[in-house]
């Protein structure tokens, strides 16, 4: 087990290196110039050159990458080109907001998806299955930002039940206030995942119901509910673990949309601003962080698999 973790961790090193090279090249190939952030028309060309030089932007791309890599290996992700704050500080500053929102959204999605998926699978092709399927279909088709605007209009503007934006009321610092602000973005983000989870669980429920142990339970006179929520659920939960690992990537994408619409001060909005301003140290920092999250998510899923079902041997 320990060996496996070590091996997997070692494998991530070339992967991260590869990701960073690709990401850096893409930034450099993209049109746009970070110096445009500072240039105002009443600035003379010498000042522009001075700024370019101070930021190291007059160096060839491979030198810039090498400098970045050297720095990063010492744990220093560099400074933002725009506001000159350390990238690491900015990411750590915003990580809790994103992690909190994502955690809550995943939990909500899973909690809803398990019963919905189980019921849909058990009542295959009945009206309730169709209804749930339809809901899932909507979840895939509806753009998240549209859903977000819709909910804000309803719950913030019309009903005044919930705040429409931000993470807290200005000057307030209570946990409940943050929760209140988090409800809408969390629901939107969860809705984005719900569909794929439900469809996954539904199909694996259908598969499980054909298994012998289900027939045996029926023969023992267990009712449908017990079979579904006691026995089948155990088996169905297994693929959900994999799904969770994989959804780390979707989460980052979903978070960008959701955080932007709700002005949630997380990694998503930070990345969005950085991308607009060609602020490459910040973009690189965020890419590394999300790659690590994705790899860690998959590794954790693999390990949990072994724990959840000891029959699956963790060798390789």
Partner 1 sequence: MRSKRKLSVVVVLALLTLVISACGGNSNSNSNSNASTNAPSNNAQTADNGQADASQPKDGGSLIIAVGADPVILNPNYAGDRVSLTIDQALYAPLFQINSGKKTFYLADSLTPSADMLTYTLKLKSGLTWHDGEKLTADDVVFTFNKILDEKQNSFLRGNLIVGGKPIEAVKVDDTTVDFKLPSVSPAFEATLVQITPIPKHIFENEADIEKSTKNAAPVGSGAFKFKEYKTGEYVTLERFDNYFGGKPHLDSITYRIAKDTNAANLALQSGEINVKYLDPQDVSTIEGTGKFDIMPYAEGRLSYVLFNENSDRGALKKKEVRQALSYALNRDEVIQAAYSSAEYADAAKSILTPDTLYHTNEVPSFDNDAAKAKELLQAAGESNLKLRFIVKSGDKVQEAISLYVQQKLKEIGVEVELQSMDASAWGAKAFDPAAKDFELAISGYIMGSDPDAYSVLFTTDAVYNSTHYTNAEVDGLWKQGGSEADTAKRGEIYKQIQEKIADDAAIFPIGYTKTIVAFDKQFGGVEDAVLKPVVIFEDPSKLYLK
Closest approach, Cβ 209 to partner 1, in A, equals 23
- Is the dihedral angle over the CA atoms 252, 255, 257, 259 positive or is it negative? negative
Closest approach, Cβ 217 to partner 1, in A, equals 33
Task: Considering the complex, state which of residue 82 and residue 292 has its C-beta at the smaller distance from partner 1.
Answer: 82
Task: Considering the complex, state which of residue 248 and residue 267 has its C-beta at the smaller distance from partner 1.
Answer: 267
Helix, strand, coil in percent for the chain, rounding step 5 = 75, 0, 25
Please give the Cα distance from 43 to 51 (Å, whole number): 11
Burial class (CB in 10 A: 0-12, 13-18, 19+), 161: exposed
Task: Considering the complex, state which of residue 92 and residue 111 has its C-beta at the smaller distance from partner 1.
Answer: 92
Q: Are 301 and 247 in contact (CB under 8 A)?
A: no
- Is the dihedral angle over the CA atoms 33, 64, 67, 92 positive or is it negative? positive
Task: Considering the complex, state which of residue 132 and residue 270 has its C-beta at the smaller distance from partner 1.
Answer: 270
Give the CA distances from residue 160 to residues 153, 188, 259, in Å, rounded to whole numbers and listed in that order. 9, 18, 20
Task: Considering the complex, state which of residue 16 and residue 82 has its C-beta at the smaller distance from partner 1.
Answer: 82
Closest approach, Cβ 76 to partner 1, in A, equals 14
Task: Considering the complex, state which of residue 42 and residue 223 has its C-beta at the smaller distance from partner 1.
Answer: 42
Closest approach, Cβ 150 to partner 1, in A, equals 7
Task: Considering the complex, state which of residue 56 and residue 166 has its C-beta at the smaller distance from partner 1.
Answer: 166
Q: Are 277 and 81 in contact (CB under 8 A)?
A: yes
DSSP for 218-254, please give it: HHTT--HHHIIIIIIHHHHHHHHHHHHHHHHHHHHHH
171: left (phi over 0), alpha (psi -120 to 50) or beta: left
Closest approach, Cβ 115 to partner 1, in A, equals 22
Closest approach, Cβ 240 to partner 1, in A, equals 25
Q: Are 303 and 314 in contact (CB under 8 A)?
A: yes
Query: What residue ranges bind partner 1 (CB under 8 A)?
Result: 30-33, 36-48, 50-51, 54, 79, 82-84, 90, 93-94, 97, 134, 137-138, 141-142, 145, 148-150, 152-154, 156-158, 160, 163-168, 170-171, 260-266, 269-270, 272-273, 276, 278
CA atoms within 13 A of residue 223's CA, in its CB half-sphere: 1
Closest approach, Cβ 226 to partner 1, in A, equals 33
Closest approach, Cβ 297 to partner 1, in A, equals 24
Closest approach, Cβ 192 to partner 1, in A, equals 16
Task: Considering the complex, state which of residue 149 and residue 303 has its C-beta at the smaller distance from partner 1.
Answer: 149
Give the CA distances from residue 26 to residues 148, 220, 227, 262, 283, in Å, rounded to whole numbers and listed in that order. 31, 62, 52, 28, 11
Please give the Cα distance from 57 to 61 (Å, whole number): 8
Task: Considering the complex, state which of residue 151 and residue 236 has its C-beta at the smaller distance from partner 1.
Answer: 151
């Amino acid at each position: 087990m320990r060996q496996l973790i070590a091996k997997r961790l070692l494998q991530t090193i070339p992967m991260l290196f590869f990701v960073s090279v690709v990401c850096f090249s893409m930034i450099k190939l993209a049109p746009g110039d970070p110096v445009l952030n500072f240039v105002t028309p009443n600035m003379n060309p010498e000042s522009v050159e001075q700024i370019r030089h101070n930021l190291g932007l007059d160096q060839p791309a491979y030198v810039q990458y090498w400098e970045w890599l050297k720095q990063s290996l010492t744990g220093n992700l560099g400074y933002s080109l725009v506001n000159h704050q350390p990238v690491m500080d900015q990411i750590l500053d915003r990580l809790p907001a994103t992690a909190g929102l994502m955690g809550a959204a995943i939990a909500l999605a899973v909690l809803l998806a398990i019963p919905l998926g189980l019921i849909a699978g058990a009542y295959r092709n009945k009206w309730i299955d169709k209804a749930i399927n339809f809901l899932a279909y909507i979840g895939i088709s509806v753009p998240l930002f549209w859903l977000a605007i819709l909910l804000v209009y309803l719950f913030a503007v019309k009903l005044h039940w919930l705040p429409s934006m931000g993470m807290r009321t200005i000057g307030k610092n209570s946990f409940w206030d943050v929760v209140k602000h988090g409800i809408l973005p969390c629901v939107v983000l969860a809705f984005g995942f719900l569909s794929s989870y439900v469809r996954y669980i539904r199909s694996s429920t259908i598969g499980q119901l054909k298994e012998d142990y289900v027939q045996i339970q029926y023969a023992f006179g267990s009712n449908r509910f017990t079979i579904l929520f006691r026995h089948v659920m155990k088996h169905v939960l297994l693929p959900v673990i994999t799904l969770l690992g994989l959804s780390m990537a979707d989460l980052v994408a979903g978070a960008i949309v959701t955080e932007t619409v709700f002005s949630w001060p997380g990694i998503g909005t930070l990345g969005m601003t950085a991308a607009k301003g060609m602020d490459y140290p910040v973009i690189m920092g965020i890419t590394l962080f999300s790659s690590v999250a994705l790899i860690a998510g998959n590794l954790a899923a693999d390990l949990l698999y072994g724990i959840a079902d000891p029959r699956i041997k963790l060798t390789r």
